[in-house]
Structures are given as structure tokens and as C-alpha cells.
């Protein structure tokens, strides 16, 4: 029941954020960058404290290979999505951007695959870190995607339907992984893939948000808070 509630929260969060920015005001560019920096720091921290250690614990031999595969996979997906996962905003032509939606859908589906890892590895901390990471990461994605669809001439109803389908994909990825990756050894594959994907996204966000390599105090605070929350969550479990 707890797991179902957490999946409901993932879905509801996307829909709430989409509705706010569909019918209300958009965030400023600087605020969006700070939100991206916060989410990137959190993601990279849970990669090193939760996902990679658990993956190596389950299967030490092939984890590194699948981390590289995940990194390269996100590189390809980013070509079709235009980097929306990194917080890139786009003005799209009128009509539904199918390539972008397919890429984001694949990203969300794969990202959700290790969500039930604790049922095999008995590691609640990993589960909570993944749920929180996806939740935080989905906020800037939802903001950018909603804005893009809104300016593409797509109706509000269709936009909400698209965002609803997007919100379902991570829970569906978790359900699919339960069927495909039955043994604990195989579970290392989605864990490592997601680690590679999140490392690509988080490092890209952090590097791209550093304009002209200048020190940004507020960005640094956002990074410290994001990484700090992830590390604190790890230490308290």
C-alpha cells in the first residue's frame, strides 16, 4: 500500500505542477536554473551513495559496463528530446512533438525500473532515494514540457493528458522490471542503467548552468542543499 501511495504521489506531483504552470505564471529563468542545480546535485549524490553501491553489491562484474551503456543511452535520448531532461526550453512548431515525447517517455520508463529494488535487496533507503530523486527531477521536466506544449498551440486538455501519460511511465517501468528482472543478479542491470542516465543528466546540468565559469553563490547553495539532503537521507537509514 505504501508503494502504491508513493507512485500516486509521483503521478499527482506531475499533474499539480503541470496545472500550476498551465493556468498560472511561469518561473523565472534564474529560478528554474536553481531548481535544476538542486535536482542535479541530489541526483548525483544518490548515484554515489545509493544506486552504484547497491548495483555493485548485487553484481560487481558487469555494473560498470551497464553504467556506460546508460550514459550513452541518455546521450542518444537527449538528441531526440532536445535536452528537456537538462532543463532546456524549446519553442516547438505547432502540433504534438512526438520525437521529444517518445524520448522523455523512454527516459521516464527506464528511470522507474529499479523502484522496486528493495523487494529483492531489502534496501528501503535505496527505494526512498529513487522515489525522491524521480519526484525532484520530474518537477523541472514538467515545467519545461508544459511550457513547450502550451506554446505549441496544443490545448490545455491535451497537454494534461500528455503529462498524465508521462507521469505513469516510471511506475510502469517499475512494474515491468518486476517481470523482466526476477533474480537479484539481474536487478543490477536497471540499477546501473539508471546510474549512467542520472550521471549524464546531473553532470550536464551542473556544467551547463555554470555560465562563463563564474562563481554563483545561489547556485552553490542550491547544490549544497541538494547533495546534503541526499547524503543525510543515506546516513539516517
Residue 204 CA to its chain's centroid (Å) = 13
CA torsion, points 127, 176, 162, 131, in degrees to nearest 10? 0
| 1-22 tens-digit pLDDT | 445 788 999 999 999 999 998 8
Whether the pLDDT of residue 128 is over 90: the answer is no
Averaged pLDDT of the chain: 84
pLDDT the model gives residue 229: 93
Find the helix packing angle between 124-151 and 2-23, rounded to 10°: 20
Domain ranges of the chain: 2-23+39-235
CA distance linking residue 173 with residue 35, whole number of Å: 25
Residue 142 CA to its chain's centroid (Å) = 11
Please report which confidence band the pLDDT of residue 126 belongs to, taking 50, 70 and 90 as the band edges: confident
pLDDT the model gives residue 73: 94
Whether the pLDDT of residue 162 is over 80: the answer is yes
Whether the pLDDT of residue 37 is over 80: the answer is yes
User: In terms of Cα–Cα distance, which of 194, 224, 200 is closest to 34?
Assistant: 224
Provide the 10 A C-beta neighbour count for residue 99. 11
CA distance linking residue 145 with residue 119, whole number of Å: 32
pLDDT the model gives residue 184: 61
User: In terms of Cα–Cα distance, which of 98, 64, 67 is closest to 80?
Assistant: 98
Whether the pLDDT of residue 149 is over 80: the answer is yes
pLDDT the model gives residue 76: 92
pLDDT the model gives residue 2: 47
Please report which confidence band the pLDDT of residue 182 belongs to, taking 50, 70 and 90 as the band edges: low
Stretch 121-139: mean pLDDT: 81
Long-range pairs, 3-11, Cβ under 8 A, ≥24: 3/116, 6/131, 7/170, 7/171, 7/174, 9/131, 9/135, 10/131, 10/134, 10/135, 10/138, 10/167, 10/170, 10/171, 11/164, 11/167, 11/168, 11/171
Stretch 151-170: mean pLDDT: 92
User: At 49, is the secondary structure helix, strand, or coil?
Assistant: helix
pLDDT the model gives residue 19: 92
**Global confidence as pTM:** 0.87
CA distance linking residue 10 with residue 178, whole number of Å: 19
pLDDT the model gives residue 6: 86
pLDDT the model gives residue 122: 45
- Report the share of the chain in percent with pLDDT over 70: 88
Whether the pLDDT of residue 65 is over 80: the answer is yes
User: At 195, is the secondary structure helix, strand, or coil?
Assistant: helix
Whether the pLDDT of residue 191 is over 50: the answer is yes
Please report which confidence band the pLDDT of residue 117 belongs to, taking 50, 70 and 90 as the band edges: low
Residue 79 has phi, psi (to 5 degrees) of -65, -40
Amino acid at each position: 500500500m505504501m508503494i502504491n501511495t508513493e507512485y500516486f504521489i509521483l503521478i499527482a506531483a506531475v499533474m499539480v505542477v503541470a496545472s500550476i504552470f498551465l493556468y498560472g505564471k511561469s518561473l523565472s529563468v534564474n529560478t528554474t536554473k536553481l531548481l535544476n542545480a538542486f535536482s542535479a546535485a541530489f541526483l548525483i549524490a544518490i548515484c554515489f551513495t545509493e544506486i552504484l553501491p547497491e548495483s555493485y553489491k548485487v553484481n560487481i562484474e558487469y555494473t560498470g559496463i551497464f553504467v556506460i551503456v546508460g550514459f550513452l543511452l541518455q546521450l542518444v535520448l537527449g538528441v531526440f528530446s532536445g535536452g528537456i531532461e537538462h532543463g532546456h526550453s524549446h519553442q516547438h512548431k505547432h502540433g504534438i512533438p512526438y520525437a521529444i515525447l517518445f524520448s522523455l517517455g523512454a527516459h521516464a520508463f527506464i528511470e522507474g525500473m529499479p523502484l522496486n529494488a528493495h523487494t529483492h535487496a531489502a534496501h528501503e533507503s535505496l527505494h526512498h532515494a529513487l522515489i525522491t530523486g524521480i519526484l525532484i527531477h520530474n518537477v523541472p521536466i514538467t515545467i519545461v514540457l508544459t511550457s513547450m506544449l502550451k506554446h505549441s498551440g496544443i490545448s490545455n486538455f491535451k497537454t494534461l493528458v500528455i503529462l498524465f501519460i508521462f507521469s505513469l511511465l516510471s511506475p510502469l517501468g517499475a512494474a515491468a522490471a518486476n517481470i523482466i528482472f526476477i533474480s537479484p543478479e539481474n536487478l543490477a542491470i536497471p540499477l546501473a542503467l539508471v546510474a549512467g542516465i542520472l550521471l549524464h543528466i546531473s553532470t550536464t546540468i551542473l556544467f551547463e548552468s555554470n555560465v562563463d565559469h563564474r562563481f554563483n553563490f545561489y547556485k552553490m547553495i542550491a547544490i549544497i542543499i541538494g547533495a546534503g539532503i541526499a547524503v543525510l537521507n543515506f546516513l539516517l537509514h
